[in-house]
Chain A
Amino acid sequence: MSTLAPGAVPGGGIVGRYRELDALRAWLDAARDGAGRLVLCVGEPGIGKTRLAQELAGVALAGGTTVAWGRCVEAEGAPAFWPWRQVLRSLGADPDVVLGGDVESPEDRFRVFDAVAEAVRGVADTNSVAVILDDIHWGDEPSLLVLRHLADRTAGARLLVFTAFRDVGPAGVLRRVLPDLLRSPAVERLELRGFGLDEVREQLSRTAVGESVVGARAVLDLTGGNPLFVREVARAIADGTWQPDRPPRTVLDAVAARLDRVSVDCRRLVQAAGIVGRDFSLVLVAGALDEPVAWCLPPVDEAIAYGLLDRVGDTGNYRFVHALTRDAVEASLTTADRAALHRAVAEAIEARFAGDLSDHLPDIARHWASLAPYGEAVTARAWAIRAAADAVRRLAYEQGVRLYQAALALDASSLPDVERCRLLVALGRAAYFAGDLRGCVNAAVEAAGAARAAQSPELAGEAALVLEAAPTSGVNAVAEQLCEQALADLGDNDHEGLRARLLAQRSHLAFYDGDQDRVASLSVAALELARASCDDHALADALRARQEALPGPAGRAERLLLATEMLALARRTNGARAAMWGELWRIDALIESGQLAAAAEELPALRVAVSRVGGPVSVWHLDRVTACVAQAQGRYATAAAAGRRGYDRMRVVEPAPATGAFAALQCALAHHIGVNDEVTALARRPFDPPPRFTTMAWLSRAFLLLCAGLPDEAMASYQQAGPLEMWSLPAFFVLPGYVYGALAAARLGRHDDLTVLLDRLEQFRGEHATGNGVAYMGPTELTLGRGAAVLGRLDLAVEDLAVAADQADRAGAPGYVAEARYHLAATLLTRDSPGDHDRATAAARDADRLARALGMAAYTDRTAALLAQLDNKGRLAVPLSPRETQVAGLVAEGLTNRQIATRLVLSERTAQNHVQHILTKLGFTTRSQIAAWHVHAQLSRPMSHSADAQTVADS
């Protein structure tokens, strides 16, 4: 039987690290139970991060957990998403499928991030998974962004993500991503430190010579307890390279000394391998050395025996035992040998993978770049450009930027202006997709200069369009200038498509500046040119520009036509994105015109288009309109779920629209179904909307805080919006902005503002308050009626509220029917003209029935109270017979039909009939509604003024 201590194995087991392994075991156990973890393991080179990861992998496998590895490589020659490609392949997924797809905007890359995260989580759904990402300090930016994306989704998954990185000067990319990783919900940090004396002694004891030659204390002093260095010293002692009078100062020294002892062939092989990289295939090294593979076998075995290499699997792949080992080997080469090997390796890769170089382009470019100072700049540039284009195609924009920049820097004086301009355009686009706006602007400006030098107005146009859709004001000024210059250079003849795109771009820039008049004129010109050009790309751009030019109800009819034209373009070109925009515009317009059923019928077509486009942004569009339609139709649970789903998707991509849309939906929902703690927290959370949405944000927040019963905070928010004449609302938000403002002003007693706002809302009679398909706030007359009631204009209020109820009914918005009828009933009760009481009673009953059927928690108590109040005034709102009133009281006591029958000495059947009649007369469906009604009837009290004024008093 075994006498081993727990966790220890003889011979090669890990030395020390008991605390770290205990922690890892605990996190692994938690991950197996669905409480995933992201572990950030940090330490200096050689400290044992990879060794610890191996131990974790063994423990995970022994417990039935799937393990996948992804290793970032030191050299800049790895394909895009390299560590994730390894992980996906290991998990049985096809990396090309998961990482593939077209991209038209920077946000589209999130589709890929999502796809990777979902692929990993999908495996974790069936079996717990440990993903080990080694050396992420060398990770490319897209790979680290995937990690950041997955980190937020780890907490609830059966997933442990272990990452290892050096703490000494982490690369720029990791430094940018690390704060986000540290903020992720299930993060654990594991800092590895050097060995103590006991561990050094244990490590030495595992070698043949043990501690007899050199004391553990001396080794600890020499190495600082760095485990790799300790092992190298132990190995040096064992193999006889140890010189007490000249001990190695670093791991590199120790490896270099050992390299001196290997055979010539072994050194030759290892040096060639060192140029290939830390991981290498023997076939490739053989090719670079121009030797048969069989020749390589003895030296490779020798290198393994000398502790320089490890064998990886049984497929002819090998790895240097540590990155520092490879560094030491490369350092042993002369400049001439290194250059010769770079050339030999580059040519060997080109020859070996001639059929499909795409996975190897960055690597080939890296080798040729090393040769550029020695007369190979032109070849190096050609490979760099090829690799850059491929990197962008694979969504590795940062790598594309780096490679384009490298290409531009290679012997710049020999680059013709036209080629230079094209390279700068490509660089600018890559920078834009990488989110590097400054790099994008600089490239565009330089490209425009190169285009002028090349006397090519067409290229100047392309340079101007590099800055497409950049909403930052600093970019806008440059983009506007480039567009104007390019249009001037192009003249009025030819190039209609390019000119249309430039005009659409200028229109778009004006839209971001809030200059709606210029948007109108520029978009018309763009669309006319685009239609004449027969250029589908230009037409799509121009249609979008024109759509932006037509906000609010006045532009709705033309927007519907644009939607039809966009859908026709989508059919002609089989364009998924065009189909998506066409459907979205149509649905938005239908919601605005109160055709909710028609809007709902369009959703399946939108879903198809969105699924073709893919990515979180397009799915967010689907979620937001699905939520909006459901909210308008009174399907609150569906609306809440879709809104939440969309918000969760979008907030990591574009926080501002995600938050704005979510807040607007919460306002509309809170208005009818009340608020929970999360919504209250949302209303109180600090926010920083884009400048042109500031007024809208303060008004919607004031409204939401009122719904949450926080009038003081609501007042503060309302005041933050500033004096009414200073309000600035985007054209498409004017109507819903006034509605928020009017309803908030009504409930906050700001009657002067309310009066002005009602005047402004007059122009929107017959319209429905909604903006950009994120939330529906009912017919304009509803706000007009509620406002008039607060101002004591009761006749007008009654008229508008009755109209509003009918409009909402025609729109298919039952929640707003209930709201309108409730306020109508309350207003009638206040007015108390002849016939008003009966009319009020009917309206209140209707409102109460609808509110209960829809689950409008914000209204059910109010409608019941209103009914009870009507009842209390001595004019029975509900014609229950005395016997039925008696039975209702017993129902409220919780009695069953049989108990009621016994109490009243009736047959059970008769008691049941009484209950059924009560239900019918009150418009109820459950006994609990009867009970609630009865209680309210008992507790009701007189009501004064309007329902809104009462709400203020209540709050």
Chain B
Amino acid sequence: MPWITVATLPIGSIDQYDAVLAQLGGEPDGLVARYVGTADGTLRVVALWESQAHADQFFARTLGPALARALGPEPAGTPELIGIDVARSYVREPAAGVPELDQRR
């Protein structure tokens, strides 16, 4: 069952986010898609996973050590993490003349 996570992490900038990704050393198992942007000055990461188990594994075991390294000597803040069980979905088929989303991380 696909699973969506919406994470608000105490990451100050896209650059710092890239530093976190660099610590990961590769994309996590089960990640289908990820979109990152800023709303109200806060960085948010929306990700689609093959399953909740994949997402749980990532947040419980993989992301933490990367944050520990990337967020300076005292990683701190107030994160938020929402999980969504995908009940319905729609993905537009690629069509001529419609640009793909930028592959930027």
Contact = CB atoms under 8 A, between A and B. Distances in A.
Contact of B73 (A25, A54, A66): A54
A64 interface: yes
12 contacts: A2-B62, A4-B26, A6-B61, A11-B23, A54-B75, A57-B67, A58-B63, A61-B75, A63-B64, A127-B80, A310-B72, A311-B72
Contacts, number: 122
Interface residues of A, number: 41
Contacts of A63: 59-60, 64, 81
B81 A2 contact: no
B18 to A, nearest CB: 15
A1 B68 CA distance: 21
B25 interface: yes
A11 B26 CA distance: 13
A59 B65 contact: yes
Nearest to A8: B65
A55 B24 contact: no
Nearest to B30: A1
Interface string A33-74: 000000000000000001000110111111111111101000
B12 to A, nearest CB: 7
A25 B63 CA distance: 13
Interface string B15-56: 000000001111111000000000000000000000000000
Contact of A58 (B25, B27, B28, B64): B64
Given A55-B68, A61-B10, A68-B76, A10 B60 contact: no
A64 B81 contact: yes
A71 B10 CA distance: 20
Contacts of A11: 23, 25, 69
Best-buried of B9, B12, B60, B74 by chain A (most CB within 10 Å): B74
A57 B66 CA distance: 11
A323 to B, nearest CB: 13
A12 B29 contact: no
Contacts of A235: none
Contacts of B63: 58, 62
B103 interface: no
A2 B27 contact: yes
Contacts of B62: 2, 4, 6-7, 9, 62
B72 A58 contact: no
Given A2-B62, A3-B26, A54-B73, A64 B68 contact: no
B55 to A, nearest CB: 11
Contacts of B74: 54, 57, 69, 71, 132, 312
Contacts of B66: 9, 58
Contacts of A659: none
Interface of B: 9-10, 12, 23-29, 57, 59-69, 71-81
Interface string A453-476: 000000000000000000000000
Given A54-B75, A58-B71, A63-B64, A9 B24 contact: yes
A375 to B, nearest CB: 39
Contacts of B9: 61-62
Nearest to B7: A64
Best-buried of A127, A310, A311, A313 by chain B (most CB within 10 Å): A313
| List of 8 A-B pairs having minimum Cβ-Cβ separation, nearest first | A58-B68, A59-B64, A64-B81, A62-B63, A58-B67, A62-B64, A57-B75, A58-B64
A60 B64 contact: yes
Given A2-B26, A67-B75, A69-B74, A7 B65 contact: yes
Nearest to A7: B61
A69 B76 contact: yes
Contact of B65 (A1, A58, A67, A68): A58
Best-buried of B23, B26, B66, B73 by chain A (most CB within 10 Å): B73
Nearest to A310: B73
B79 A64 contact: yes
B73 A312 contact: yes
B27 A1 contact: yes
Contacts of A13: 23, 65, 69
A312 B10 CA distance: 15
Contacts of B68: 14, 54-55, 57-59
B43 to A, nearest CB: 13
A688 interface: no
Nearest to A69: B74
A10 B23 CA distance: 7
Nearest to A134: B74
B72 A312 contact: yes
A90 interface: yes
Contacts of B57: 6
A127 B65 contact: no
Contacts of B81: 63-64
A745 to B, nearest CB: 63
Contacts of A25: 60
Contacts of B79: 61-62, 64-66
Contacts of B26: 1-4
Interface in A289-312: 310-312
Contacts of B76: 57, 61, 67-69, 90
A19 to B, nearest CB: 15
Nearest to A311: B72
B24 A2 contact: yes
Contacts of A10: 23, 25
A61 B27 contact: no
A319 interface: yes
A833 B30 CA distance: 92
Contacts of A132: 74
A57 B76 CA distance: 7
B5 to A, nearest CB: 10
B67 A61 contact: yes
Contact of B25 (A4, A14, A65): A4
A314 interface: yes
B27 A319 contact: no
Nearest to A5: B61
A507 B67 CA distance: 63
Nearest to A90: B76
Contacts of A50: 73
A462 B26 CA distance: 72
B23 A12 contact: yes
Contacts of A6: 57, 61-62
B69 A12 contact: yes
Contacts of A55: 64-65, 68
B73 to A, nearest CB: 5
A314 B12 CA distance: 10
A61 B64 contact: yes
B66 to A, nearest CB: 5
Contact of A9 (B59, B65, B71, B77): B65
Nearest to A59: B64
Nearest to B64: A59
B42 to A, nearest CB: 14
